[in-house]
Amino acid sequence: MKVLAILYDGGQAAVDEPRLLGTVENQLGLRSYLESLGHEYTVSSSKEGPDSDFQKHIVDAEVLITTPFHPGYLTRDLIEKAKNLKLCVTAGVGSDHIDLNAAVDHKIQVLEVSGSNVVSVAEHVVMSILLLVRNFVPAHEMIERGDWQVSEIARNAFDLENKVVGTIGAGRIGYRVLQRLVPFDCKELLYYDYAPLPAEAQKAVGARRVEDLVEFVSQCDVVTVNCPLHEGTRNLVNTELLKHFKKGAWLVNTARGAICNKDAVAAALRSGQLSGYSGDVWNVQPAPKDHVWRTVKNSLGGGNGMVPHYSGTTLDAQARYASGVKTILANYLDHKPQDPANIIVGLGKYETRAYGQR
Ligand code: NAI
């Protein structure tokens, strides 16, 4: 069996730190396991264009392992060329880089390591909310510059207490964000999701569901995006929706870059419709050097908390998703059933309801 893994280059960091398992260097810790069973294991970061290792090796691979952090985009065209492909495994959570409808049509299974990094992301979301609301980044930059002008920072710094925070998507990550916000004594915690939370879970965090998206965003001081990217969420936060946000709201997106419209977000930040935008996901990854989200600021020179895609790839998360990938491979090789929570696309059908209402 040929297993192809598209991972990111870890460079010297991955040589020095073997727990960086999701890298080309450390290969999810799978090489000796797969080779001892007589399988071929090809690992590369080269993923763009017809000459990439990805496109060269996908034609005869049986299993493809990818990661959302350095996504190998498996389009319908490539799926049609991948005559041997039976299983796609996402090392992490979020399989939108795979054309899931095409995987359904071609009876290719798509699994991810559900839950493996949801705490990692939820912690990052809470941090991102705080750094925007409290105006942290410009304050730190001021210190590095050698300046000290408290009023310049304090003029746009607030408390999270008594603010309304809402999550688009209240699944594993969205719910964990709500749980972590409880001690901050927000005015209200809201959520927008076509799947209502179980009554007990909703009560435990004191959240209220708002069923209309426009009504939802118009009540929030902070909006955090925690739903998968699919046909129903691509470009969801666009110029029209941003008009309905409270003026000066903060927006945090650690779900997928393409859920928020790049130019609409930048324009809203410049105009003051948004006070801040923060997150770690980009519509193209790696993000081009001139991507507007790298540098766009609000009128006071702050409001940007963007980082590279790493919230779900802490060393703790990497240990969990590497071990999860191994379990999925072992189940596949031994013809054992997979954990149902990990199955996004089963044989010829979606097994999850999180990638849109069908
Ligand atoms: P989950 O499947 O547990 O929850 C997703 C929730 O979103 C579900 O409750 C679903 O009903 C809801 N949803 C789907 N479409 C929606 C829509 N149109 N409007 C409102 N809600 C909608 O997934 P989980 O584990 O919470 O992860 C969510 C997403 O976060 C992943 O799909 C991935 O894109 C992203 N993620 C990002 C990471 C990072 O490192 N930045 C790491 C892990 C996940």
pLDDT-based confidence at residue 358 (cuts at 50, 70, 90):
confident
Which residue's CA is minimally distant from atom 25 of ligand 1? Answer: 172
ipTM topping 0.95: yes
This prediction's pTM: 0.97
Which residues make up each annotated binding site for substrate? 93, 117
Catalytic residue among 70, 97, 309, 320: 309
Tens digit of each residue's pLDDT (9 = 90 or more) over 152-190: 999 999 999 999 999 999 999 999 999 999 999 999 999
Percent share of the chain, pLDDT over 90: 99
Tens digit of each residue's pLDDT (9 = 90 or more) over 38-47: 999 999 999 9
Question: Which residues on neighbouring strands pair with residue 304, listed in sequence order?
Answer: 277
CA-nearest of 331, 312, 258 to 111 is 331
Question: If you measure from the C-alpha of residue 227 to the centroid of ligand 1, how many angstroms do you get, rounded to a whole number?
Answer: 3
H-run or E-run covering 109:
strand 109-112
Q: Residue 295 burial (CB < 10 Å; 0-12/13-18/19+)?
A: exposed
Question: Which residues on neighbouring strands pair with residue 345, listed in sequence order?
Answer: 110, 350
For position 230, what pLDDT does the model report?
97
219 is catalytic: no
Side by side, the strands of the sheet bearing 207-209 are 207-209, 188-192, 164-168, 222-225, 249-253, 274-279, 304-306
39 is catalytic: no
Catalytic residue among 27, 256, 273, 320: 256
Ligand 1 binding site (Cβ under 6 Å of any ligand atom)? 92-94, 117-118, 121, 168-174, 192-195, 226-229, 232-233, 254-256, 280-281, 309, 311-312, 354, 356
CA-nearest of 303, 132, 186 to 177 is 186
Question: If you measure from the C-alpha of residue 225 to the centroid of ligand 1, how many angstroms do you get, rounded to a whole number?
Answer: 8
Enter the tokens of residue 105.
């049509």
Number of H helices, E strands in the chain: 15, 13
Enter the tokens of residue 90.
């996402």
256 is catalytic: yes
- H-only helix segments in 89-192: 100-105, 118-133, 136-145, 150-154, 172-181
Question: If you measure from the C-alpha of residue 309 to the centroid of ligand 1, how many angstroms do you get, rounded to a whole number?
Answer: 15
- Classified as helix, coil or strand, 65 is strand
